[in-house]
């Protein structure tokens, strides 16, 4: 046995033998709400006010207990050092071209934020265009939107502070290397779309929030404006607003030929969309509501004159491509270009006068190329089993670039010649991680109702199936999101620690199309939890792990997944890591963009949906005296998507309910961070180190593998 391993294996017993003393959390027993005749207490509602002194004192007290526990874990420093060393490698984004200039991001290794570069050619010496690390002292200001003008002379870039979804758009003169002074505020869930002549750009914004409500107030009335360069935002021209539809999200784009202003209209997070357009050649042309039935998902691909190509699941749950002539928009005139196939058509790009189609075959990427009439040109050979990204470009472009990654191989970038179909390696990262000793396999689990659920497994070759392997089961299962193989430094270090990683493709996601997604929504949401629980049971039945060695992890909707499963089957898991989770299913729609999730969750305002929500809501299904798994809840003070109140209330209730002598149930509250995107790398490393250290303590794990 390795030196120190015996002590590591003893750690769960040591951890559980020393109960944590939790901060006292006030209960307001008088707050009871009536939902369709059912009385529901909400004693911790005061924690929803994240600006109150009492809440801030509670956060400080909780962090004090949590970090006191984490600081005492013997392997924490080793894990953090290993993460820091492994993360210190150069990472380059997929390049794209505008006006003869090439743009891409690069991180030298441990920079908090990746730097934006521009170059005269993909292989030419790059020049720093924008370094977001200089925008704040602590590295918490991140780069969001990056939109060069058609001629490549100007750049709209978005910045987010402390991880907020709110963005501020600015403009940089690329030739001069400095900002123009143009600033647009209160932008959220929006791209920037340049006018063809570079005179300005279209964008979407919400009204300015009331004082103190920026991080919690509901976001309504998404509106499109045009910003003319050199003018203040107050002079921006209103382009399109629908005050009669305050829940619509209106997203503007400009066709590559500059002829049409395109409006993709969403309603919450429902995959179904509307599509409108305006002819920019005609002053004051009306907005044409081309697709207004809200009956399917429509994604604009490209237009050839008046013929618009759409990626859609109309009458095709696994998606197809149709062509619509806007001069003859009746459905009887639509033309099917690429029919629905056996596998989900995930997305379509138009590059080099071809349609490049990414399909998901049991959650793994496959690519094909077709001409504009839909005829197959070739199967695009990929480097292996994994996930592709990129293929960005325009119909006239002869080349494009794409990334390819797997669980044990970091994302390499390839140049793709559209005419010949040849791929050439462009960038290959060098990572201090050897993937050779590990294997990836895909298995299929039978869920409670007999549904076949895929799961990827990654572990060291020759793994003994004796039930003693620390295993991390990860899932999401919602909002039509597909989970596919991808490399992660944090997972790599988990593997080095002797862990097994399992990724479950649950209903509610998008891996198999619309029917798969809908099977995990609203009154059928329990299917998602049943799928995840079935995967956990399979891992134990097959000898990969045991309840004492199994941890579950997920973020956002995945945090809800973890919260629901640990309350329904607490005996099945040894540890739980719910991150920025939606935990109060009766009030999620009251905050920021939460109302938009009704398409997946339903709403407590509806009697039938309330009954379903109440049955699995993590906050409302905790029972006093139950022995819950060791839990580390994580959230952030600037999360304005899933407000931290969800995690605050869940952690408070969990601590009150945990059985005496039960394992620790803690909450870690990050500062100057949000829902996850744009988080400074130093904070990512620190949080990951704390999560893995927590698991090392409660599951009994070894330190990361020693390096040569």
Which entry of 556, 647, 696, 703 is annotated as an active-site residue? Answer: 556
What is the spatial distance between Cα 384 and Cα 406, in angstroms, rounded to a whole number? 8
675 is catalytic: yes
Angstrom distance (rounded) from CA 319 to CA 311: 7
Q: What are phi and psi of 158, to 5 degrees?
A: -105, 145
**Which residue among the candidates 222, 638, 675, 703 is catalytic per the annotation?**
675
Counting DSSP H helices and E strands in the chain, the numbers are 11, 39
Residue 158's alpha-carbon distances to 182, 267, 642, in angstroms, are 12, 24, 21
Dist. CA 537–CA 190, nearest whole Å: 42
Burial 53-75 (b: 16+ CB within 10 A, else e): eebeebbeebbebbeebbeebeb
Would you say 490 and 688 are in contact if contact means Cβ atoms under 8 Å apart? yes
Element (H or E) spanning 309, and its range? strand 307-312
Tell me which residue of 649, 564, 568, 573 sits closest to 601, measured CA to CA. 564
* Radius of gyration for the chain, computed over Cα atoms and rounded to the nearest angstrom: 25
Helix (H), strand (E) at residue 273: strand 273-279
- Counting Cα atoms < 13 Å in the Cβ hemisphere of 54 gives 10
Burial track 396-407 (b if 16+ CB lie within 10 A, e otherwise):
ebebbbbbbbbb
Q: CA–CA distance from 697 to each of 251, 265, 632 (Å)?
A: 47, 48, 12
d(CA 427, CA 405): 12
CA distance 549 to 620: 27
Q: Which of 342, 386, 392, 195 is nearest to 281 (CA)?
A: 195
Cβ-contact 516, 438 below 8 angstroms: no
User: Within 13 A of 287's CA, how many CA atoms are on the CB side?
Assistant: 18
**Rounded to whole angstroms, what are the CA distances from 227 to 167, 170, 194, 202, 231?**
15, 11, 9, 6, 8
The candidate with the shortest Cα–Cα distance to 71, out of 79, 60, 59, is 79
Active site residues: 556, 675
């Amino acid at each position: 046995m390795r030196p120190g391993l015996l002590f590591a294996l003893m750690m769960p017993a040591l951890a559980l033998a020393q109960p944590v003393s939790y901060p006292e959390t006030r209960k307001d027993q008088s707050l009871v709400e009536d939902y369709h005749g059912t009385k529901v207490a909400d004693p911790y509602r005061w924690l929803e006010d994240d600006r109150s002194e009492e809440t801030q004192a509670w956060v400080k007290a909780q962090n004090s207990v949590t970090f006191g526990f984490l600081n005492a874990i013997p392997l924490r420093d080793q894990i953090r050092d290993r993460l820091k060393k492994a993360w210190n490698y150069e990472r380059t984004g997929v390049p794209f071209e505008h006006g003869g200039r090439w743009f891409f991001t690069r991180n030298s290794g441990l920079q908090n934020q990746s730097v934006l570069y521009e170059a005269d050619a993909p292989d030419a010496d790059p020049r720093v265009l924008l370094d977001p690390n200089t925008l704040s002292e602590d590295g918490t200001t991140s780069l969001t939107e990056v939109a060069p003008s058609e001629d490549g002379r100007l750049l709209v870039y978005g910045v987010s502070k402390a991880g907020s979804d709110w963005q501020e758009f600015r403009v940089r003169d690329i030739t001069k290397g400095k900002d123009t002074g143009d600033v647009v505020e209160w932008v959220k869930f929006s791209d920037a779309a340049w006018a063809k002549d570079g005179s300005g750009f279209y964008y979407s914004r919400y009204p300015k929030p009331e004082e103190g409500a920026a991080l919690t107030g509901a976001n309504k009335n998404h509106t499109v404006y045009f910003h003319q360069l050199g003018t203040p935002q107050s002079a921006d021209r209103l382009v399109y607003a629908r005050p009669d539809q305050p829940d619509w999200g209106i997203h503007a784009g400009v066709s590559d030929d500059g002829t049409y202003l395109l409006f993709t209209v969403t309603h919450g997070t429902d995959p179904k969309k509307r599509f409108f357009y305006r002819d920019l050649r005609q002053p004051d042309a009306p907005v044409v509501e081309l697709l207004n039935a809200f009956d399917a998902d429509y994604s604009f691909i490209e237009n050839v004159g008046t013929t618009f190509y759409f990626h859609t699941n109309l009458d095709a749950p696994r998606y197809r491509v149709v062509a619509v002539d806007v001069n003859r928009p009746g459905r009887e005139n639509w033309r099917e270009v690429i029919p629905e196939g056996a596998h989900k058509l995930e997305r379509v790009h138009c590059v080099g006068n071809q349609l490049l189609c990414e399909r998901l075959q049991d959650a793994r990427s496959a690519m094909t190329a077709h001409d504009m009439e839909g005829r197959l040109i070739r199967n695009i050979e990929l480097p292996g089993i994994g996930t592709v990204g990129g293929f960005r470009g325009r119909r006239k472009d002869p080349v494009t670039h794409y990334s390819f990654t797997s669980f044990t191989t970091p994302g390499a970038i390839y140049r793709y010649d559209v005419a010949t179909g040849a791929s050439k390696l462009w960038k290959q990262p060098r990572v201090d991680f050897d993937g050779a000793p590990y294997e990836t396999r895909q298995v299929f689990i039978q869920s409670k109702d007999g549904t076949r659920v895929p799961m990827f497994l990654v572990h060291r070759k020759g793994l003994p199936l004796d039930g003693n392997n620390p295993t991390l089961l990860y899932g999401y299962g919602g909002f039509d999101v597909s989970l596919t193989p991808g490399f992660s430094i944090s997972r790599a270090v988990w593997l080095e620690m002797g862990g097994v990683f399992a990724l479950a493709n649950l209903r509610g996601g998008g891996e198999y199309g619309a029917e798969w997604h809908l099977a995990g929504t609203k009154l059928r949401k329990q299917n998602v939890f049943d799928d995840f629980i079935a995967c956990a049971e399979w891992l134990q039945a097959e000898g990969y792990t045991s309840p004492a060695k199994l941890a579950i992890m997920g973020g956002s909707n995945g945090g809800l997944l973890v919260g629901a499963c640990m309350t329904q089957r607490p005996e099945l898991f040894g540890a739980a890591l719910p991150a920025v989770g939606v935990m109060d299913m009766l009030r999620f729609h009251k905050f920021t963009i939460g109302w938009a999730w009704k398409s997946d969750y339903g709403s407590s305002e509806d009697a039938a949906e309330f009954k379903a929500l109440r049955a699995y809501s993590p906050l409302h299904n905790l029972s006093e005296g139950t022995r819950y798994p060791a839990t580390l809840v994580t959230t952030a003070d600037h999360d304005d998507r899933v407000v931290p109140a969800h995690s605050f209330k869940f952690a408070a209730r969990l601590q009150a309910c945990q059985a005496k002598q039960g394992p620790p149930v803690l909450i870690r509250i990050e500062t100057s961070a949000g829902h996850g995107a744009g988080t400074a790398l130093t904070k990512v490393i620190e949080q990951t180190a704390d999560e893995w250290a927590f698991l090392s303590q409660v599951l009994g794990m070894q330190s990361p593998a020693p390096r040569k």
